[in-house]
Amino acid sequence: MTPDVDRNREFFRRKPRALTDKRTTVQDAVSRLVSDGDYIGIGGFGTNRIPTAILHEIIRQGKKGLGLSGHTATHDFQILAAGGAIDRVDVAYVIGLEARGLSRAARRLFEEARIQVCEWTNAALAWRYRAAAMGIPFIPARIMFGSDTMRYSAAKTVTCPFTGQKLLALPALSPDLAVIHVHRCDKYGNAQIDGISVSDADLARASKKVIITTEEIVPEEVIRQDPARTIIPAFCVDAVVEVKYGSYPGNMPYAYFSDEEHLREWLSADSKPETLEPFLRKYIFGTKDFSEYLELCGGEAKMERLRRIEFLEEV
């Protein structure tokens, strides 16, 4: 993806800044804002703050040819890849589900060359967002030299005009769409995150369109009471969707823990095609929306148990 920062700057300059009510449904947000061939960036970190409802709906609506920034991605990348939505990825970390094991379905897609791969480090992808958010075509760094990661990346070497040192030029990364799950948001799109925000602030500013899913939509006054937590401002956001427990089966820091049993079921199912397809039919194609999926996985009783685990209470 060659950076075109001037065109992006013009796009952002024309983007409306007025405070408008951006509340909508998962189905509408995906239908209206996700197009075949789009390049998508997903917020959160690993299994933390996964925007599961949007990911499932992308698969249900049959979106194809998507690119993905695999910046600390795990289950989000894996489910989109297994659902046939992705054909290219900038990868830092995607196949592993951390200590739980590896996604064999994702590995098969790479080995069969059904997904194009460009390699980066987590830091490199974060800084590429930063460059795009700043409106510059690249950002210099001193990483990746001498590694296979550099060989299989799209980075280039440059010479520092001040010191003559060799540096790595990381190209700006401006996704067509960012999808980010947060703790709370007002109807205008002012979004707050508790705990680690990773690169979500830069991702939102770098992306042409932004969908926010949130545990709860709160009055504007709540946001104003603690403005320092507003990581993503309303002017970046195009759609706001309230999805309680929206990071499930992932973790939502200070709210609920990840569903380890369900993630193990996923890894077992994705080990071979004959078990993967029934999993997708049962949990995604066989459910009309996220609430039905959640109920199938245990509903409120399951979420209360995960809440107690998150707060180290007896279960």
Nearest 5°: phi and psi at 118?
A: -130, 125
Mean pLDDT (whole number) for 148-161: 96
Asked whether 200 and 44 are in contact (CB, 8 A), the reply is yes
Report d(CA 126, CA 73) in Å as an integer.
Answer: 12
The residue whose two tokens read 């695999």 is 70
The share of the chain scoring above pLDDT 90, in percent, equals: 91
pLDDT at 99 over 90: no
Torsion of CA 265, 268, 47, 23, to 10 degrees: -60
pLDDT the model gives residue 295: 98
Confidence of residue 171 (pLDDT cuts 50, 70, 90): very high
pLDDT at 210 over 80: yes
pLDDT the model gives residue 182: 99
Confidence of residue 260 (pLDDT cuts 50, 70, 90): very high
* Three-class secondary structure assignment of the chain: CCCCHHHHHHHHHHCCCCCCCCECCHHHHHHHHCCCCCEEEECCEECECCCHHHHHHHHHCCCCCEEEEECCECHHHHHHHHCCCEEEEEECCCCEECECCECHHHHHHHHCCCCEEEECCHHHHHHHHHHHHHCCCEEEECCCCCCHHHHCCCCEEEECCCCCCEEEEEECCCCCEEEEEEEEECCCCCEECCCCCCCHHHHHHHCCEEEEEEEEECCHHHHHHCHHHEEECHHHCCEEEECCCCCCCCEECCCECCCHHHHHHHHHHCCCHHHHHHHHHHHHHCCCCHHHHHHHCCHHHHHHHHHHHHCCCCC
pLDDT the model gives residue 3: 78
Phi-psi region of 135 (alpha: psi -120 to 50; beta: other; left: phi over 0): left
Neighbouring-strand partners of residue 99 = 97
Asked whether 36 and 58 are in contact (CB, 8 A), the reply is no
The structure's pTM equals 0.96
Report d(CA 96, CA 89) in Å as an integer.
Answer: 15
Lowest model confidence (mean pLDDT) among 59-63, 96-100, 256-260: 96-100
Mean pLDDT of the chain: 96
Sign of CA dihedral 214, 172, 103, 55: positive
pLDDT at 285 over 90: yes
**In terms of DSSP bridges, do strands 209-217 and 177-185 run parallel, antiparallel, or are they unpaired?**
parallel
Confidence of residue 72 (pLDDT cuts 50, 70, 90): confident
pLDDT at 19 over 70: yes
Confidence of residue 2 (pLDDT cuts 50, 70, 90): confident
Asked whether 180 and 54 are in contact (CB, 8 A), the reply is no
Mean pLDDT (whole number) for 23-51: 98
Report d(CA 315, CA 312) in Å as an integer.
Answer: 9
In angstroms, how far is CA 49 from the centroid of its own chain?
8
pLDDT at 1 over 70: no
Convert the pLDDT of each residue in 75-93 to its tens digit. Answer: 999 999 999 999 999 999 8
What are the extents of the domains in the chain? 5-125+173-279
CATH 3.40.1080.10 assigned to domain 5-125+173-279? The reply is yes
Convert the pLDDT of each residue in 104-144 to its tens digit. Answer: 999 999 999 999 999 999 999 999 999 999 999 999 999 99
Report d(CA 106, CA 80) in Å as an integer.
Answer: 10
pLDDT the model gives residue 94: 87
pLDDT at 9 over 80: yes
